[in-house]
């Protein structure tokens, strides 16, 4: 095994043991906290521990930090500060949007529309509403060249009924990285007078996100997807959008989410949003270059390999690749032993023996879905790490193919 030396000054903690450098390629699951974000967070874990709901000086300092962060998060997505509701993460933001929008409707019969590739935070919320009598339409996504993993806006238009109260479509898919035509869907929703929610957890901080040009009424984001801490997110609620809160017990977040604000997390979230806005143009170009180099090398060295949704529009950091003859779970474990951290799909689905619902919806065969690997890069990814992965993955695939009784794919080139 070759040794990788991290050349940048930022090294995610806990990613080294012995003589082997851990190469982290699972940024879509979570990201290392940027050192500047950690510094912004620490004062509110130490001496500035006031409750943002208190009127005394320590409380007002905490309140000021929350409102400063609200401005930064709003600026990242082109919103007004008053339209930002802080939550405990992306899943809570999705749940607040979906359950809150449906609860706000006064129609005797209700219908919602979503897609087959949504995160489980959306799909499971829709399933729960279906159990309560709400009609749910799950729209398919494309399976062909150039449209794989992307929803056709006309499918959304055709699914609309007089009783439709909500449309929920993600911006970027967490497994494939495919970017959905949100602006066009936003225009369709607006013309029909339907509330439109977008899960932007995997796009915010990676590509430009502007709630006004997208035409969304509700939009979810999460700090830990762009070098912020876990356990804090936000829901954009367009001014005037009816929304019933999911929690009761106080007046925090203008009555839209009860409970004491997570001041350290929110302060860090604000800093992460501020950094993301500044770094996005440079990061996206650099990371895309690393991602494309990794894909090209693996495609050249591993026979039969291909990129799922490779010809579709994708966020710059995500690659989902098929390595026929090498089971994804075995490949994941073998690569982890070699020092490479990646995934076979959504982190929230770890432990499931079922193949990815996203890959199957995008037309990937059952066997290929079980032989797929997601490699997601980020701000701290370096060229030596990509070189290490490009050298290691083919060797591991070759070993797994050699011991697989079902493998009929020729060896690595």
Known catalytic residues are 348
> Within this chain, do residues 116 and 164 fall inside the same structural domain, yes or no?
yes
Query: 299: buried, middle or exposed (CB in 10 Å: 19+, 13-18, 0-12)?
Result: middle
> Within this chain, do residues 159 and 198 fall inside the same structural domain, yes or no?
yes
Q: What's the rounded Cα separation, in Å, for the pair 366 and 295?
A: 22
> Within this chain, do residues 29 and 40 fall inside the same structural domain, yes or no?
no
Q: Is residue 270 part of a domain?
A: yes
CA distances from residue 4 to 18, 22, 279, 305 in whole angstroms, order as listed: 13, 9, 25, 25
> Within this chain, do residues 252 and 337 fall inside the same structural domain, yes or no?
no
Residue that the structure tokens 């995500």 belong to: 318
Query: Is residue 12 pLDDT above 50, yes or no?
Result: no
Q: Is residue 158 part of a domain?
A: yes
Looking at 226, 255, 274, the residue that finishes a domain is 274
Sequential DSSP letters for 208-240: ---HHHHT-SEEEEEGGGTTS-SS-EEEEE-TT
Phi, psi of 305 (to 5 degrees): -75, 155
pLDDT at site 15: 41
How many degrees, rounded to 5, is the angle at CA 145 between CA 139 and CA 146? 75
For residue range 178-213, list pLDDT tens digits in order: 999 999 999 999 999 999 999 999 999 999 999 999
> Within this chain, do residues 50 and 191 fall inside the same structural domain, yes or no?
yes
Sequential DSSP letters for 36-50: HHHHHHGGGTTT---
Residue count of the chain: 413
Sign of the alpha-carbon dihedral angle for 340, 201, 122, 191: negative
Phi, psi of 167 (to 5 degrees): -120, 130
Here the CATH number for the domain that contains residue 128 is 3.40.640.10
For residue range 335-367, list pLDDT tens digits in order: 999 999 999 865 554 455 578 999 999 999 999
Provide mean pLDDT across the span 233-245.
Answer: 97
Is the backbone of residue 55 left (phi > 0), alpha (psi -120 to 50) or beta?
A: alpha
Selection from 349, 383, 305 nearest residue 6 by Cα: 383
Q: What's the rounded Cα separation, in Å, for the pair 70 and 235?
A: 11
Q: What's the rounded Cα separation, in Å, for the pair 153 and 150?
A: 9
For residue range 104-153, list pLDDT tens digits in order: 999 999 999 999 999 999 999 999 999 999 999 999 999 999 999 999 99
By DSSP bridging, strand 164-168 and strand 16-17 are unpaired
Provide mean pLDDT across the span 84-88.
Answer: 97
pLDDT at site 2: 38
pLDDT at site 392: 96
Phi, psi of 334 (to 5 degrees): -65, -40
Total domain count for the chain? 2
Here the CATH number for the domain that contains residue 325 is 3.90.1150.10
> Within this chain, do residues 76 and 220 fall inside the same structural domain, yes or no?
yes
Looking at 259, 274, 289, the residue that finishes a domain is 274
Q: Is residue 290 part of a domain?
A: yes
More confident position, 4 or 89: 89
Looking at 246, 274, 302, the residue that finishes a domain is 274
> Within this chain, do residues 198 and 308 fall inside the same structural domain, yes or no?
no
Judge whether 79 and 214 are in contact, CB under 8 Å.
no
- The percent of residues above 70 in pLDDT, for the chain, comes to 91
Element (H, E) at 372: strand 372-376
pLDDT at site 20: 61
SS3 112: strand
Residue span of the structural domain in which 294 resides:
16-34+280-403
> Within this chain, do residues 71 and 22 fall inside the same structural domain, yes or no?
no
Q: Write out the two tokens for 135.
A: 């009609």
Q: What's the rounded Cα separation, in Å, for the pair 279 and 206?
A: 9
- The percent of residues above 90 in pLDDT, for the chain, comes to 84
> Within this chain, do residues 359 and 390 fall inside the same structural domain, yes or no?
yes
């Amino acid at each position: 095994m070759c040794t990788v030396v991290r050349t940048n000054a930022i090294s995610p903690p806990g990613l080294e043991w012995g003589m082997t450098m851990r190469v982290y390629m699972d940024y879509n699951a979570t990201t290392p906290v940027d050192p500047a974000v950690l510094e912004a967070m620490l004062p509110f874990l130490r001496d500035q521990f006031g409750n943002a709901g208190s009127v005394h000086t320590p409380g007002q300092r905490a309140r000021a930090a929350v409102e400063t962060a609200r401005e930064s998060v709003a600026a990242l997505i082109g919103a007004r500060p008053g339209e930002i509701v802080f939550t405990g993460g992306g899943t809570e933001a999705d749940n607040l949007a979906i359950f809150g929008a449906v609860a706000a409707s006064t129609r005797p019969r209700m219908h919602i529309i979503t897609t087959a590739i949504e995160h489980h935070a959306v799909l499971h919320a829709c399933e729960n509403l279906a159990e309560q009598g709400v009609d749910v339409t799950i729209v398919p996504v494309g399976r062909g060249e150039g449209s794989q993993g992307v929803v056709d806006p006309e499918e959304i238009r055709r699914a609309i009924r007089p009783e439709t109260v909500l449309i929920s479509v993600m911006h970027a898919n967490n497994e494939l990285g495919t970017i959905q035509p949100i602006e066009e869907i936003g225009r369709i929703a607006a013309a029909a007078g339907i509330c439109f929610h977008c899960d932007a957890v995997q796009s915010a901080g990676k590509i430009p996100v502007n709630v006004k040009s997208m035409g969304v009424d509700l939009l979810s984001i999460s700090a830990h997807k762009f070098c912020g801490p876990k356990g804090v997110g936000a829901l954009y609620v367009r001014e005037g959008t009816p929304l019933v809160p999911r929690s009761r017990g106080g007046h925090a977040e203008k009555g839209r989410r009860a409970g004491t604000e997570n001041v350290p997390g929110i302060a860090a979230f604000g800093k992460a949003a501020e950094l993301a806005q500044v770094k996005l143009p440079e990061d996206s170009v650099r990371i895309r270059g690393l991602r494309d180099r990794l894909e090209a090398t693996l495609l050249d060295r591993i026979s039969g390999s291909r990129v799922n949704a490779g010809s579709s529009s994708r966020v710059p950091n995500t690659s989902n690749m098929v390595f026929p003859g090498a089971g994804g779970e075995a490949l994941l474990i073998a690569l982890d032993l070699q020092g490479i951290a990646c995934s076979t799909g959504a982190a929230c689905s770890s432990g499931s023996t079922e193949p990815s619902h996203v890959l199957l919806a995008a037309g990937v065969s059952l066997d290929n879905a079980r032989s797929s690997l997601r490699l997601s890069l980020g701000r701290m990814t370096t060229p030596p790490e990509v070189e290490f992965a490009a050298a290691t993955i083919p060797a591991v695939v070759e070993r797994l193919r050699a011991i697989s009784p079902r493998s009929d794919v020729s060896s690595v080139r």
